[in-house]
Structure 1
Amino acid sequence: MALPAIADVRKLTDGDITEQIDATRRELFDLRFQQATRRLEHPHRFKEARIKLAHLLTVRNERQASAAQAVSAT
């Protein structure tokens, strides 16, 4: 599975980003649980999920910063 490009994340709406952040955090929790119970079959999913979460959080924070800057500029 190829890693998602951040350009694809930038096309999402704010609601979609929030939903995907929640889903990715749940996925990371499930992966940690599987690792703890020694049922983890695909350890590479940790890296993919962390990168995806970083992309989502980066775009969300950029949007919040630009919104705050726009409000303070007026």
Structure 2
Amino acid sequence: MTDTSPERPALPDHLSVDPRSPHHVAAIFEHDIGIRFNGKERVDVEEYCVSEGWVKVPAGKTLDRKGRPLMLKLKGKVEAFYR
């Protein structure tokens, strides 16, 4: 049997959704990614680091002075996976 799905790149330890970030990897976002934080799946994660154990999520509708969402850094157990 052959697997017809494309080869998925390994998920990095640190990944960001923001294309201006040095931790942004465009090839990863061609696939559906999930983040589990403290045992619960989150869909609002903008950036994560598995080894340091944190995620960055938007703080509601609050914006910074450049018009981007204000981020909160939450610490806990982080797991990244492909859906």
Give the structure with the higher percent helix: 1
Shared fold per TM-score greater than 0.5: no
Which entry has the higher C-alpha Rg, 1 or 2? Answer: 1
TM-score normalised to structure 2 length:
0.22
**Greater relative contact order (Cα < 8 A, sep 6+):** 1
TM-score normalised to structure 1 length:
0.23
Give the structure with the higher percent strand: 2
